[in-house]
């Protein structure tokens, strides 16, 4: 009897554990074109926020509200500006640590998936602060639209490159990604805004009840009490929309990049995956956060090491006391001459550029990871394979050839290619 035993040659890990594509986002986010593109966004984003601060915010508003001042500094400060005067290690490596168990296990700072999720959504979350004045509301709205305008393009390019690479195992040139996003830019920009427009309309309806409470005195409160059931229904609709937007907006841009869709398709898919596959989404997000924590810790410490080794090497020639004096001048905590201040400022710019590259990696990693999560949720919910990504080459491949009319006026298929050359039919004797 023949012993028919098979030998296991290989394991299709992509089919067995498709979520392993999340671990490929680290090397993808480190590609130089994506890093440089994210670096541009990191450097120009504070410009719009500074302009919004000049237009809408007074110095008294900054001094009177500590929470607002902290948020403003976070949005208007370039990487490397805020640095402790006695530390050789930059703030990007130290980060800010949460008290949750996950953060205690893997202290990542602000550059992992969850941290970037919080940073990108911060301006729009501030709009729902009930104690926000009109000028502060205008400040966050203007700055939020500025940030959205920047990251809609950059995030679109990164997600387009990511879905093609992760889904089809093909490399898309940055030029082709630019052309694709350029044609779809308004879709990327308006996709997250449509839910907010709906919430704004419902808010105006609720505000009418508040206007009755304010304008009619105690009688207005009674009228508002009668109408309050409708206010709660409107608030229920707003809560549903905001819940879907809160968790679904990172999936909107990968939807457009993968499907060549419009804002409504991005809205439908992101809300559908959020509410229909919440446990899958949670699992993928947790894996991405844990993995991103380690990646950010590596990148942040590497950036800090680059800066530290530069100061350490310079201290062998200048001495530690001189280096400390220069750092204090750069931080503005010590009186110094014009030349020292200028030199310290230049050193600060170069060190800040190192930190900016680390922050750019955080943005690049976030959009790459969001693309991977979208492909995973699409496979789970729609049973769509990873490689089913929109491609302009496929669209041209399956189009009908152009038609032309012959002498009788009948439409025929036009010859797009020249006919092959006729072989030489001369007899062999003639050739000789």
pLDDT digits (tens, 9 = 90+) for 96-139: 333 333 333 334 456 667 778 888 888 898 888 888 888 999 99
For residue 36, pLDDT beyond 90? yes
- Segment 159-169 mean pLDDT: 93
For residue 427, pLDDT beyond 90? no
Helices (H), 216-277: 217-259, 263-276
Q: pLDDT confidence of 405, banded at 50, 70, 90?
A: low
- Segment 194-210 mean pLDDT: 92
User: Cα–Cα distance between 179 and 151 in angstroms, integer?
Assistant: 16
What confidence score (pLDDT) does residue 84 get?
Answer: 40
Bigger pLDDT: 5 vs 198? 198
pLDDT digits (tens, 9 = 90+) for 252-284: 999 999 999 899 999 999 999 999 999 999 999
- The highest-confidence range among 79-88, 191-200, 327-336, by mean pLDDT, is 191-200
Query: Mean pLDDT in the chain?
Result: 81
Are the C-beta atoms of residues 304 and 362 closer than 8 Å to each other?
Answer: no
User: Cα–Cα distance between 202 and 100 in angstroms, integer?
Assistant: 35
Bigger pLDDT: 118 vs 141? 141
Are the C-beta atoms of residues 126 and 71 closer than 8 Å to each other?
Answer: yes
What confidence score (pLDDT) does residue 432 get?
Answer: 41
- The highest-confidence range among 107-111, 313-317, 358-362, by mean pLDDT, is 358-362
Are the C-beta atoms of residues 250 and 373 closer than 8 Å to each other?
Answer: yes
């Amino acid at each position: 009897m023949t012993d028919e035993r098979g030998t296991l040659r290989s394991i299709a890990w992509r089919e067995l554990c498709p979520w392993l594509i999340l671990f490929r986002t680290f090397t993808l986010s480190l590609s130089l074109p994506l890093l440089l593109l994210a670096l541009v966004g990191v450097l120009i984003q504070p410009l719009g926020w500074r302009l919004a601060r000049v237009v809408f915010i007074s110095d008294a508003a900054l001094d009177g509200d500590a929470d607002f001042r902290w948020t403003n500094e976070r949005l208007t400060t370039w990487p490397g500006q805020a640095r402790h005067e006695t530390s050789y290690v930059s703030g990007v490596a130290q980060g800010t640590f949460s008290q949750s168990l996950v953060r205690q296990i893997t202290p990542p700072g602000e550059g992992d998936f969850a941290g970037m999720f919080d940073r990108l959504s911060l301006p729009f979350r501030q709009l729902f602060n009930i104690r926000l004045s009109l000028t502060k509301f205008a400040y966050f709205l203007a700055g939020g639209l500025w940030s959205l305008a920047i990251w809609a393009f950059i995030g679109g390019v990164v997600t387009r490159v990511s879905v093609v690479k992760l889904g089809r195992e093909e490399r898309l040139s940055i030029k082709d990604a630019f052309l694709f996003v350029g044609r779809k830019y308004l879709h990327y920009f308006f996709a997250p805004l449509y839910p907010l427009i709906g919430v704004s309309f419902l808010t105006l309806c609720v505000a009418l009840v508040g206007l009755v409470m304010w304008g009619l005195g105690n009688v207005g409160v009674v009228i508002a009490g009668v109408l309050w059931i409708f206010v709660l229904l409107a608030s229920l609709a707003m809560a549903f929309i905001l819940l879907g937007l809160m968790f679904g907006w990172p999936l909107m841009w990968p939807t457009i990049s993968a499907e060549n869709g419009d804002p409504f398709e991005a809205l439908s898919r992101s809300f559908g995956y959020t509410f229909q596959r919440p446990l899958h989404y949670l699992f993928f997000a947790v894996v991405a956060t844990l993995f991103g924590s380690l990646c950010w810790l590596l990148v942040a410490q590497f950036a800090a090491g680059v800066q530290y080794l530069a100061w350490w090497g310079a201290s062998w020639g200048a001495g530690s006391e001189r280096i400390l004096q220069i750092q204090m001048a750069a931080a503005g905590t010590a009186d110094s001459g014009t030349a020292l201040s200028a030199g310290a400022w230049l050193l600060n710019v170069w060190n800040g550029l190192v930190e900016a590259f680390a922050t750019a990696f955080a943005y690049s990693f976030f959009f790459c990871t969001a693309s991977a999560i979208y492909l995973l949720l699409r496979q789970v919910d729609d049973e769509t394979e990873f490689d089913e990504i929109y491609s302009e080459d496929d669209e041209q491949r399956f189009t009908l050839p152009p038609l032309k009319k012959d002498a009788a006026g009948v439409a025929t298929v036009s010859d797009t290619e020249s006919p092959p050359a006729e072989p030489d039919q001369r007899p062999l004797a003639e050739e000789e």
